[in-house]
Chains A and B, each alone.
Chain A
Amino acid sequence: MNTRSESVDGPLSVPALLHRNANVFALEPAYREKEFGIWQTWTWSQTLEEIEALALGFVDLGVREGDFVAIIGRNRPHLYWAMVAAQMVGAVPVPLYQDAVAEEMAYVLGHCGARIVVAGDQEQVDKVIEIQDRLPDFEQMIYLDPRGLRKYDHARLHQYSHVQDAGRAKRDELLSEITARQAKLDYDSTCVMLYTSGTTGKPKGVVLSNRNVIETSKSSSEFDDLRQTDSILAYLPMAWVGDFIFSVGQAMWTGFCTNCPESAETMHNDLREIGPTYYFAPPRVFETQLTNVMIRMEDAGRFKKWLFDVFMAHARKVGPAILDGETVGLWDRWKYNLGELMIYGPLKNTLGFSRIRVGYTAGEAIGPEIFDFYRSLGINLKQLYGQTEATVFITAQPDGEVRSDTVGVSCPGVELRIAENGEVFYRSPGVFVEYYKNAESTAGTKDAEGWVATGDAGFIEEVTGHLRIIDRAKDVGQMANGALFAPKYVENKLKFFPNVLEVVVFGNGRDECTAFINIDLTAVGNWAERNNIGYASYQELARHPQVMDTIQSHVEEVNASLAQDEMLSGCQVHRFVVLHKELDADDGELTRTRKVRRRIIEEKYDDIIAALYDGSSSVSTVTEVTYEDGRKGSIAATLEVRSAEVFPVGQMIAAQ
């Protein structure tokens, strides 16, 4: 790759894009924020004026080129402007997670040596003051919301609007300075530094250049035909790469409008009022919304409920096909239009999805029925796969080729490669420059040719060219016969059933796969209540024969769907038990974020695992448990081991 190549057309930095937008879209809305009950709007030319005033104020405060400017707070236009203002004066913006505790902030602020901090409100200011003694480089703090801060010592503290006012007052003398600094920005200068969340070890500062951000924004905007008239709701953490690309990168490239909610609690209401045309949410958000809809429909009158059920069934039948532009019978189309008028339209309006042209979800696997629900309503929900190091986009689903089990084809400009062990590698213009002050990790992640390891295992479907992610690469193993063993993939499939709370699949180096299953006490308990089945405890409900039958049918359904997949058919679950206790973080079986700790579970329940593989039909066991107050006790139980039907590869099942 030619590293010095300049973009053929167009601006080479985010501030340059801002100037272009202020010229081209001067009177179009750039940012909106709901404040005092009203949507306040800033046009592109007003935005330029605000950002420039802040940039002048930055220079006045002594911000130098190459300085790091940390930004901490919820999504607000002023904080986005602070990022661009920092770029304008040659500094590097570093957005931080606003819910991070002071300790975590101390590491990040210390690591990048931020001289300036822009904080949203008193809460963030307090956190920084708490740790400032440990930050030798920290000099000045600017706060946005003055509430509660009036009596603070203002020796190093400045109100945002005052900094802007100071900048405006000295415009004549300082403007030439920032013009000169902006002129020095090119495609290879640093655009932003984002810290990875750091699930393993300390957070790493990912340095992204203007090339990374602009090239990615450009190609992804073209991929989805984003336009100046689009609008988005910015509600995801500012420190996350996705938010930076959507609310700054793509917004600057296409000139669309970024809307900021009034507060985290009003997000859903604000979503309805704005009706974004381009929307991103993690699967959890879609799941919660669907649950809310379903609960409210349970409470609706009988006629409304019937209407809803009839039309939703129809939508499930033809909705996705209509969305993908396939031919659908005239009668079906007419009925769908009627449904749109009576059910789908009002429902989408309630959810705030009336105007969505492009919606994305990513981050974890989404349940197929959740995914299909939204698509059947006519919402163009798609999946993408990305990471900070790639400036988000690695793969995405093009319109018309959307499925719940793939993450799409490689984005424009992205090359994919699958390594021997199944790990996915990519190379693209979006590939990050380096991890800041961490050459070792940089070398470990990005090779000399620019290929980056994702840490995820997956494969590319031969027919469609779609990438499918199956698991974290380090969790993927091999079975005794050499077949691929991807426990998390199978576990996720099982966890999509509401009755199943947690699953642990075993089989690495063995002949067949087996599983531990936890039932979801809320869902199964609800079912038991409706069917007059009495139970006194989790343990009793878990061993109920009808519960076992239900779980067995879920396992068999998953086996059937795995059988259709040549690579993963070996992972079918042959035998399983429903555990007598819920896996618990207090017992060390889960992490605090509810991730399964395989090694510990394998050791703790070795007797049950032995029973799963020696063909016995039941197993007696005693398990130590830790109560919430730290005392220890034990549970004795006899568990039934069930065998589930497995299917030969590629067989289509009729019963679905």
Chain B
Amino acid sequence: MLDQAEGYVTQDGRKIGGVVMEMRNITLRFGGVEAIKDISFDIREGEIRAIIGPNGAGKSSMLNVISGFYIPQVGEVWYKGAKRPALKPYQVARQGIARTFQNIALFEGMTVLDNVMTGRLTHMKTGLWRQAIWRGAAETEETANREVAERIIDFLEIQSIRKTPVARLPYGLKKRVELARALAAEPSLLLLDEPMAGMNVEEKEDMSRFILDVNDEFGTTIALIEHDMGVVMDLSDRVVVMDYGKKIGDGTPEEVRNNQDVIDAYLGVSHD
């Protein structure tokens, strides 16, 4: 069904482009444990790609491979048409990949605005000295960056907590602030690690809407890990299913839903 070279058109009529990132036969080991076993898949421009699977399936490890935090022992990561060498996290960030964390990793003592501004770090060119005296280029740059940050604050509807220290915010809002910080980097690929974990239904709905809006408004390619099957099926264009480090399914939510291996992995299967 997929045209490998040209991309495809989703059910709701969005045009998905060529391959942005490709995983080729990735295997990742921690000592004797094989967290990921020979997995290949791709992520295409403009799509929302989900990685799902039961607990311990290796989803977070996979996301860490995509973000460049883990270097797989076997296999290649291809990004924007070139094989990616082993990189430091900041180098990955400069390549336009941003992420959020399962266990929120914000600067708790800083305000929401300051946290979002840290997402602009990769876009700041002036040196420490200039920034300290805040003259000329540094001033212009900060104004421009603040404008980007404010547009994202407006977009995610967190104006009312702009000046609130993050530590004082409830969980659901922290998640949204983290998304804001990731967006501030203006990433070409956004990685979300369980963006809806621990949320109630209303918060999940809000978050889903924001993820769709981000994809729609900025055309950001999104790869996300999620537990909640309902959310995944509604949100994503294509889904990779993992179980015990192996890929057991890959396709549209509809295809995955009807895949016998996936059903077995989620519902269990009798071994008689």
Interface residues in chain A, defined as those with a beta carbon under 8 Å from any beta carbon in chain B: 35-38, 147-148, 150-151, 262-263, 265-266, 269
- Chain B residues lying within 8 Å of A269, measured Cβ to Cβ, are 160
**Shortest CB distance B244–A (Å):** 40
Q: Say if the beta carbon of B6 comes within 8 Å of chain A.
A: no
- Chain A residues lying within 8 Å of B272, measured Cβ to Cβ, are none
- Chain B residues lying within 8 Å of A148, measured Cβ to Cβ, are 213, 216-217
Give Cα distance in the complex from A151 to B155, angstroms: 17
Chain B residues bordering chain A, tally (CB within 8 A): 16
Q: Would B155 and A37 count as touching, CB distance under 8 A? A: no
Q: Would A265 and B159 count as touching, CB distance under 8 A? A: yes
State which residues 140-165 of B face A: CB under 8 Å. Answer: 146-147, 150-151, 153-155, 157, 159-160, 162
List the 5 closest pairs (A to B, CB-CB), nearest first: A265-B160, A36-B150, A266-B160, A37-B150, A262-B159
**Shortest CB distance A408–B (Å):** 35
Q: Say if the beta carbon of B31 comes within 8 Å of chain A.
A: no
- Chain B residues lying within 8 Å of A150, measured Cβ to Cβ, are 216-217
State which residues 111-142 of B face A: CB under 8 Å. Answer: 113
Q: Say if the beta carbon of B230 comes within 8 Å of chain A.
A: no
- Chain A residues lying within 8 Å of B151, measured Cβ to Cβ, are 36
Q: Say if the beta carbon of B268 comes within 8 Å of chain A.
A: no
Q: Would B159 and A263 count as touching, CB distance under 8 A? A: yes
Q: Give B158-174 as 1s and 0s: 1 = Cβ < 8 Å from A's Cβ atoms.
A: 01101000000000000
Q: Would A147 and B213 count as touching, CB distance under 8 A? A: yes
**Shortest CB distance A299–B (Å):** 15
Give Cα distance in the complex from A28 to B155, angstroms: 31
Write the chain B residue with the least CB distance to A122: B213
Chain A to chain B contacts (Cβ below 8 Å), 5 pairs? A37-B113, A37-B162, A263-B159, A266-B160, A269-B160
| Inter-chain pairs besides A36-B147, A147-B217, A151-B13, 15 sampled, C-beta below 8 Å | A36-B150, A36-B151, A36-B154, A37-B113, A37-B146, A37-B150, A37-B153, A37-B159, A147-B155, A147-B213, A150-B216, A151-B216, A263-B159, A263-B160, A269-B160
Interface hub of B113, B146, B154 (most chain A Cβ within 10 A): B154
Give Cα distance in the complex from A189 to B146, angstroms: 47
Give Cα distance in the complex from A37 to B157, angstroms: 12
Q: Would B154 and A35 count as touching, CB distance under 8 A? A: yes
- Chain B residues lying within 8 Å of A37, measured Cβ to Cβ, are 113, 146, 150, 153, 159, 162
**Shortest CB distance B226–A (Å):** 22
- Chain A residues lying within 8 Å of B217, measured Cβ to Cβ, are 147-148, 150
State which residues 207-243 of B face A: CB under 8 Å. Answer: 213, 216-217
- Chain B residues lying within 8 Å of A38, measured Cβ to Cβ, are 150
Give Cα distance in the complex from A265 to B213, angstroms: 21
Write the chain A residue with the least CB distance to B148: A36
- Chain B residues lying within 8 Å of A36, measured Cβ to Cβ, are 147, 150-151, 153-154
Give Cα distance in the complex from A517 to B221, angstroms: 61
**Shortest CB distance A580–B (Å):** 35
Q: Would A263 and B216 count as touching, CB distance under 8 A? A: no
Write the chain B residue with the least CB distance to A38: B150
Give Cα distance in the complex from A148 to B159, angstroms: 19
Give Cα distance in the complex from A35 to B157, angstroms: 12
Interface hub of B153, B159, B213, B217 (most chain A Cβ within 10 A): B159
Give Cα distance in the complex from A151 to B159, angstroms: 26
Write the chain B residue with the least CB distance to A263: B159
Write the chain A residue with the least CB distance to B146: A37
- Chain A residues lying within 8 Å of B147, measured Cβ to Cβ, are 36
- Chain B residues lying within 8 Å of A35, measured Cβ to Cβ, are 154
Write the chain A residue with the least CB distance to B216: A148
Give Cα distance in the complex from A262 to B150, angstroms: 12
Give Cα distance in the complex from A55 to B147, angstroms: 31
Give Cα distance in the complex from A147 to B156, angstroms: 11
Interface hub of A35, A37, A147 (most chain B Cβ within 10 A): A37
- Chain B residues lying within 8 Å of A266, measured Cβ to Cβ, are 159-160
Write the chain B residue with the least CB distance to A265: B160
**Shortest CB distance A259–B (Å):** 15
Give Cα distance in the complex from A263 to B13, angstroms: 32
Q: Would B213 and A263 count as touching, CB distance under 8 A? A: no
Give Cα distance in the complex from A285 to B150, angstroms: 29
- Chain B residues lying within 8 Å of A265, measured Cβ to Cβ, are 159-160
Interface hub of A36, A150, A265, A269 (most chain B Cβ within 10 A): A36
- Chain B residues lying within 8 Å of A147, measured Cβ to Cβ, are 155, 213, 217
Give Cα distance in the complex from A374 to B108, angstroms: 37
- Chain A residues lying within 8 Å of B213, measured Cβ to Cβ, are 147-148
- Chain B residues lying within 8 Å of A151, measured Cβ to Cβ, are 13, 216
Write the chain A residue with the least CB distance to B158: A265
Q: Given A148-B216, A148-B217, A151-B13, does the pair A263, B157 have CB atoms closer than 8 Å?
A: yes
- Chain A residues lying within 8 Å of B154, measured Cβ to Cβ, are 35-36
Write the chain A residue with the least CB distance to B162: A37
Give Cα distance in the complex from A606 to B102, angstroms: 60
**Shortest CB distance B219–A (Å):** 11
- Chain B residues lying within 8 Å of A262, measured Cβ to Cβ, are 159-160
Give Cα distance in the complex from A262 to B162, angstroms: 12
Write the chain A residue with the least CB distance to B12: A151
Give Cα distance in the complex from A38 to B159, angstroms: 11
Write the chain A residue with the least CB distance to B13: A151
**Shortest CB distance B9–A (Å):** 13
Give Cα distance in the complex from A334 to B262, angstroms: 80
Write the chain B residue with the least CB distance to A34: B159
- Chain A residues lying within 8 Å of B160, measured Cβ to Cβ, are 262-263, 265-266, 269
Write the chain B residue with the least CB distance to A264: B160
Write the chain B residue with the least CB distance to A37: B150
- Chain A residues lying within 8 Å of B216, measured Cβ to Cβ, are 148, 150-151
Write the chain A residue with the least CB distance to B14: A151
Give Cα distance in the complex from A151 to B219, angstroms: 13
Write the chain B residue with the least CB distance to A146: B217
Q: Give B186-223 as 1s and 0s: 1 = Cβ < 8 Å from A's Cβ atoms.
A: 00000000000000000000000000010011000000
- Chain A residues lying within 8 Å of B146, measured Cβ to Cβ, are 37
Give Cα distance in the complex from A46 to B150, angstroms: 24
Write the chain B residue with the least CB distance to A150: B216
**Shortest CB distance A268–B (Å):** 9
**Shortest CB distance B30–A (Å):** 43
- Chain A residues lying within 8 Å of B155, measured Cβ to Cβ, are 147
